[in-house]
Amino acid sequence: MKWAPKSQYLLAISTVSLCAIGCYVFADFLGYHAVALLLLMLTSLLAMVLDLIPMVIAATLSALIWNFFFIPPRFTFHISYSEDLLLFLLYFVIAMMGGILTVKIRQAEAKARDKEEKEASIHLYNTLLNSLSHELRTPISTIIGAVDTLGDQEVNLGESQKEELFHTIQSASLRLNQQVENLLNMSRLESGVLKLSMDWIDLEEWSFGLLGRMRMESYQPNLKINLQQALPLVRLDVGIMDIILGNLIRNSVQYAGSEVTIQLQLSLSQELLEIQLTDDGPGFPEELIPIVFDKFYRLPNTKPGGTGLGLSIVKGYVEAHHGDISLSNKPKSGCLFIIRIPVETSYVNMLKHD
């Protein structure tokens, strides 16, 4: 916890004063030596939250208060016995040293933490660069190579070969586009300024529309949509919901192949939207399930084509909607994603109108 400078001074002065007042009330019972220990304990506790200067003030203030109100003769700064003078000096030194050392240790700790975080982000950045240079360069070199071949006057290509090259360029550019899209999404999430633009959506219209849009980017998943009867309108960010479901579907196709059958089930109970997506692919290795949502994680031995960002983007966007996502394997084969998102609902579509 970090306090603002002003409240640090306030905290230092008020706690020392309060403690002193308490001690003052019980001064006869406690005796002035115990008071010193109590004040010393307070200053050590304060050292755990205060910065250097407020700490020095707390230590000085408590020493002076102890001297003035408690060391005989009381209500003077004068000290009669040399033993008490020694105690007072010791008190001052211990309070200062204890306080200052604790503050310094805290500062050093914070510095070490910063350094660790910086190193972690450098590591992440390097992973990103590696992943990027591979995943972006592959489609780019495919396109450059195919175009060079098509433009080469000395090569005599047959119609079917030309067609194949065109098809290669087409799928490489779509793949490139998807990679860039994912990177943009990731940076939107990381920037921390993601603003949801909520609108009422008809889940039936949305889910079938999504299927149509997936077809347009030449994904032809065998997708079955299963909707609970009479769903109300819900308020969601459609663009982001498209990204969530789109990434899950692409992920299934990526890992389970284009022959995979995907089932999408939408249901709603008590303002909680539940989206279940299952496929009949091989499922995930049990021990890896906890880490598949991590950034840049990719299952071993998978086909190239992803950045390892897809599922972490899904998770980030689900959380941006204050929801959660879980993954499990189905008993026989295939996997099951369950997304739960709290939503505002409107049953206006259940009303008779006109």
- Is the separation of the CB atoms in 46 and 55 below 8 Å? yes
The answer to whether residue 226 forms part of the interface with other proteins (CB under 8 A) is no
d(CA 250, CA 83): 81
Residue 115 is encoded by which pair of tokens? 């350094």
* 14 or 177: CB nearest other proteins: 177
In angstroms, give the least distance from the CB of 266 to other proteins.
13
Cα separations in angstroms, 68 against 20, 57, 65, 97, 253: 11, 16, 5, 22, 79
Residues of this chain, 143-182, that bind other proteins according to CB under 8 A:
173, 177, 181
Shortest distance, CB of residue 59 to other proteins, whole angstroms?
A: 56
Contact 46, 58 (CB under 8 A): yes
Shortest gap between Cβ of 204 and other proteins (angstroms)? 7
User: DSSP states of 124-160 as a string?
Assistant: HHHHHHHHHHHHHHHHHHHHHHHHHHHH-TT----HH
Does 140 help bind other proteins (rule: CB under 8 A)? Answer: no
- The three-class DSSP label of residue 278 is strand
Interhelix angle 159-191/310-320, rounded to 10 degrees, is 40
Residue 346 lies near other proteins (rule: CB under 8 A): yes
Q: How many residues bind other proteins (CB under 8 A)?
A: 25
Nearest to 103 by CA among 58, 161, 156, 73: 58
Q: CB nearer to other proteins: give 210 or 256.
A: 210
Does 83 participate in binding other proteins (rule CB under 8 A)?
Answer: no
Which of residues 78 and 235 has its CB atom nearest to other proteins in the complex? 235
- Per-position x/- string for 227-266, each x denoting binding to other proteins as judged by CB under 8 A, each - no binding: ------x----xx--x------------------------
Tell me: does residue 48 bind other proteins (CB under 8 A).
Answer: no
Q: How far is the CB of 184 from other proteins (least distance, A)?
A: 7
How many angstroms separate the CA atoms of 247 and 258, rounded? 15
- Here's the x/- map for other proteins, 185-224, by CB under 8 A: it reads as ---x--------x-xxxx-xx--xx--x---x--------
**Edge-to-edge strand ranges of the sheet holding 261-269:** 222-227, 261-269, 272-279, 335-342, 324-329
User: Which window, 22-30, 41-49, 141-149, 346-354, contacts other proteins (CB under 8 A)?
Assistant: 346-354
Whether 235 contacts 344, CB under 8 Å: yes
The CB-of-4 to other proteins minimum distance in angstroms stands at 36
| By the rule CB under 8 A, 273 interacts with other proteins | no
Judged by beta carbon, residue 164 or residue 199, the one nearer other proteins is 199
**How far is the C-alpha of 314 from the C-alpha of 140, rounded, in Å?**
26
Cα–Cα distance, 233 to 346 (Å, whole number): 5
Cβ of residue 348: shortest distance to other proteins, in angstroms? 5
Q: Which spans of this chain sit near other proteins (rule: CB under 8 A)?
A: 173, 177, 181, 184, 188, 197, 199-202, 204-205, 208-209, 212, 216, 233, 238-239, 242, 346, 348-349, 353-354
